[in-house]
Amino acid sequence: MKRMATATAFACAAIAAPAAAQITTSVSSTPVIIHALPAEAPREGLVERRDQPVLRQRATTNRAVAITAPIATPGRSGRQHAGFPAGERLFGVYEGVDRWAYCALREGFWADRLTCYLDTDGDGFLDTAKPSGTPFLGVPFFIFTQDERRTLDTPVGFEAIPYAEGPAIDAGVQLTLQESRRRRGEMTEPRASLAFGFYVNDSFVPVRGQSQAVALTGEGPWTLAINGAEIELSGSPTRGALRYRVVTPLPSQIQRMELTRTITTTTTYVPIYIQR
Amino acid sequence: MIRALCLLLTCSAGPAWAQADSVAAPALQARPAQTTTPIIAPDPAAYPRDIEHGGSIFEFSYAGPDRRVAEREGQSLSLDAYELDADTPLFCGSDVSGDAVADDKRNALTACYRDADGDGAAELRYGVSAAAGGAITLNAPETLATPLAWSAAPARPVEVAILYGGPTGGFVGEDGALRDAIVEVIIVRRAETGEWRKASPAERPIMLPCFEDGRCFPYPAPTGYVFALSAPTVEGKVHVDLLDPLRAALLARELQPLLRARIERETGQTLPPPPPSPAT
């Protein structure tokens, strides 16, 4: 349902576009750490579909805390009355140039939404909430900070925990096969490409500019590498018997990604249709 | 990551992708009015030291440019001198206020004013559409229905800092140390609220490459000193030292081959050979 609502919103934006102005905003994401692949994780398999996840590794940000008391909802909004229980783990993101905010994802009816908390006076208690909307592209660590702030009725203590134990998502690489096809009267070579990105509800969100492709010609094996990971392909792509082997998983690494968001503004009233 | 590496080897203007966000070709560009007041240097005895993300690498202050103060719609404006061209002085500052205004806009430059006829009141207002590298891009001027009366005010000290912005990329060792990393430094100004703020949300950080052994490429600071970062960690710690120009030059010479090798490794291209050293 959430995906449908999102699709509807995109559709409406597209309809409104011809009469609209566009504002493009770029921010750098907070650093995301890709953790090493556990030794027991599978490292080879058959390529069974066009888009095949071949590596899935844990990702966190580089700071995490746990709250020592429950957080009640600021303003007692009906939508977010649940708050967070004591012990909830929050991931750290940069706030401004020299401070941190600590965020968690709230499950919502239409879409999951982020709420971030700040210790504005540095006394060791989170005192301000900053609702931050839905995650950009669905990746919880990708936040376009919003400006609204609400003071918490009761400041809440927090303690640092190892960043690796903070809230985690999955990052990894996906293999995409492109079969041989006729183009301008000639058959093209079958190709394979490897892209780095994040998994959101089992959908892959590629990071732009982080991919590599190879033509599957000759006998193979063929090797693809991205961000320190190396994948070997072997077999026959035309007979549907291609295998992959993880030669090297993604080494533990840190990345800040450039997030570019285009907002379409218009003075024309655009009705929002929600599919049911 | 490659972008940051290449920045260190390209011309000062930088390639197109290094420019500000997707803004139309600048019609009007203004720069802060030049000040000749000597810079107040920091204390070299405060180095070396360890800092964390957001920590100060280097701070200095100087007397700011000419200033005008004015009242507009019940709001006090403090405007600093800028130059559109040699003959067109402007006075620029933030003219937005209220709780609904984003934090990062409240202290950013939002408008410039110009007193074209020299009668002590500005008749023209230029909206600021973008800012990068100290320069600002202005929209076409609008004529104010009521000229903005202003008066000269004493120049304020400008406090500037170079802060550590943390790692942007790199591989993480088991001890949390980063290798082949890129780290960021950010140039900020002290806002009236006392906080460090970027001059504009569009202001880009400076990216510095760090190598296998944890040493990062040195970066010049004002006052003739150069700062050198080393041993960045995944959690945002870094070691900072202040070098005199000779030590900095020696460090840069030592790291230059590592930088070339890394660019060649990451781009898969062979760079042209460096020019021969002067005869010794």
pLDDT of residue A270: 42
Distance CA A266, CA B102 (A): 21
Cβ of residue B6 closer than 8 Å to a chain A Cβ: no
pLDDT of residue B27: 64
Strands B121-132 and B142-153: antiparallel
pLDDT of residue A96: 83
- Name chain B contacts of A92, Cβ cutoff 8 Å: none
Distance CA A143, CA A149 (A): 15
B188:A251 CB<8 A: no
Bond preceding residue A221 cis, omega within 30 of 0: yes
Distance CA A118, CA A143 (A): 15
Distance CA A44, CA A48 (A): 12
Mean pLDDT of chain B: 81
Distance CA B21, CA A27 (A): 10
Cβ of residue B54 closer than 8 Å to a chain A Cβ: yes
A227: left (phi over 0), alpha (psi -120 to 50) or beta: left
- Backbone phi, then psi, for B61, in 5-degree steps? -145, 160
- Name chain B contacts of A31, Cβ cutoff 8 Å: 166-168, 234
pLDDT of residue B9: 37
Cβ of residue A28 closer than 8 Å to a chain B Cβ: yes
Nearest Cβ partner for A256 among B104, B169, B188? B169
B167:A256 CB<8 A: yes
Q: Collapsing DSSP states into helix, strand and coil, what is residue B32?
A: strand
pLDDT of residue A42: 86
- Name chain A contacts of B52, Cβ cutoff 8 Å: none
Query: Per-residue pLDDT tens for B28-60?
Result: 888 878 776 666 767 888 999 999 999 999 888
What's the gap in Å between the CA of A221 and the closest CA on chain B?
Answer: 21
What lies within 8 Å, CB to CB, of A164 at 6+ separation is A33, A35, A60
The predicted model gives B208-224 an average pLDDT of 89
Query: Per-residue pLDDT tens for B126-158?
Result: 998 877 666 788 899 999 999 999 999 988 888
Per-residue confidence at B20, pLDDT binned at 50, 70, 90? very low
Cβ of residue B183 closer than 8 Å to a chain A Cβ: no
**Maximum distance among all Cα pairs of chain B, rounded to whole angstroms:** 68
Q: Considering only CA atoms, which of A264, A222, A217, A256 is closest in space to residue A238? A: A217
Cβ of residue B125 closer than 8 Å to a chain A Cβ: no
Cβ of residue A96 closer than 8 Å to a chain B Cβ: yes
Output the 3-class SS for A157-190: EEEEECHHHCCCEEEEEEEEEECCCEECCEECCC
Please list the ranges in chain A whose pLDDT falls under 50.
Answer: 1-19, 78-80, 267-276
Residue of higher predicted confidence among A9 and B206:
B206
Burial (CB < 10 A; 0-12, 13-18, 19+), residue A85, is exposed
pLDDT of residue B4: 47
Kindly give the residue spans of alpha helices, DSSP state H, lying in chain B: 2-7, 103-106, 245-267
Per-residue confidence at B171, pLDDT binned at 50, 70, 90? very high
Residue B213 has pLDDT above 90, yes or no: yes
Size of chain B, expressed as the number of residues it contains: 280
Edge to edge, the sheet with strand B49-51 lists B49-51, B238-243, B226-230, B219-220
| Verdict on whether the full-model pTM lies above 0.90 | no
ipTM: 0.80
pLDDT of residue B145: 93
- What is the number of helices (H) and of strands (E) in chain A? 1, 20
- Degrees (nearest 5) of the Cα angle B79, B81, B87? 135
Residue B280 has pLDDT above 80, yes or no: no
What's the gap in Å between the CA of B76 and the closest CA on chain A?
Answer: 23
What's the gap in Å between the CA of B74 and the closest CA on chain A?
Answer: 24
pLDDT of residue B106: 52
The predicted model gives B243-270 an average pLDDT of 90
Tell me the percentage of chain B whose pLDDT exceeds 90.
Answer: 41
Cβ of residue B196 closer than 8 Å to a chain A Cβ: yes
Distance CA A153, CA A73 (A): 9
For residue B72, which amino acid is it? Answer: R
A97:B171 CB<8 A: no
Burial (CB < 10 A; 0-12, 13-18, 19+), residue B98, is exposed
B53:A147 CB<8 A: no
Cβ of residue A99 closer than 8 Å to a chain B Cβ: yes
pLDDT of residue B16: 34
Residue found under tokens 């709250």: A67
Residue of higher predicted confidence among A102 and B108:
A102
Distance CA A236, CA A46 (A): 11
What's the gap in Å between the CA of A22 and the closest CA on chain B?
Answer: 10
Report, in this order, helix, strand and coil percent for chain A, each rounded to 5: 10, 50, 40
- Name chain A contacts of B18, Cβ cutoff 8 Å: none
pLDDT of residue A72: 77
pLDDT of residue A262: 74
Distance CA B112, CA A210 (A): 41
Output the 3-class SS for chain A: CHHHHHHHHHHHHHHHHHHCEEEEEEEECCCEEECCCCCCCCCEEECCCCEEEEEEEEEEECCEEEECCCECCHHHCCCCCCCECCCCEEEEEEECCCEEEEEEEECCCCCCEEEEEECCCCCCEEEEEEECCCCHHHCCCCCCCCCCCEEEEEEEEEEEECHHHCCCEEEEEEEEEECCCEECCEECCCEEEEEEEEEECCEEEEEEEEEEEEECCCCCCEEEEECCEEEEEEEEHHHCEEEEEEEECCCCEEECCEEEEEEEECCCCCCCCCCC
Question: Which of A29, A207, A254, A264 is most worth mutating to test chain B (most B CB atoms within 10 A of its CB)?
Answer: A254
Cβ of residue B237 closer than 8 Å to a chain A Cβ: no
Kindly give the residue spans of alpha helices, DSSP state H, lying in chain A: 2-16
